[in-house]
Amino acid sequence: MRGTFRVPAHGPVTSRPFPTAPALDEEEEDHFINRPCYEFNDELTTLWNDRHCEHCRHYLTARCPHIDEFLDDVDDLTPE
């Protein structure tokens, strides 16, 4: 059994790079990464151990020595 073959009307497919996300401010990007107080939260899989504060055992707890910085960020987002 033979089928028909049609050449695509749009021409050959060329690869294009994916659009990249806008660059974040380097200062803000490093703000919550690689802090000396970081302790990985063992309840997460080890693949998540990227030294970001959100994966720390003390993230958003009273044991976090930098909790005021996190709370300041949240206060900035509240509507007036």
Listing DSSP states for 25-38 in one string gives PHHHHTTTBS-TT-
The predicted pLDDT at position 65 comes to 92
In the beta sheet, which residues pair with residue 33?
52
- Domain spans in the chain, listed from the N-terminal domain onward: 28-77
The pLDDT tens digits for 14-32 are: 554 544 444 444 445 678 8
Q: How far apart are the C-alpha atoms of 63 and 50, rounded to whole Å?
A: 20
Q: Using one digit for the tens of pLDDT, what is the confidence trace for 38-65?
A: 999 999 999 999 999 999 999 999 999 9
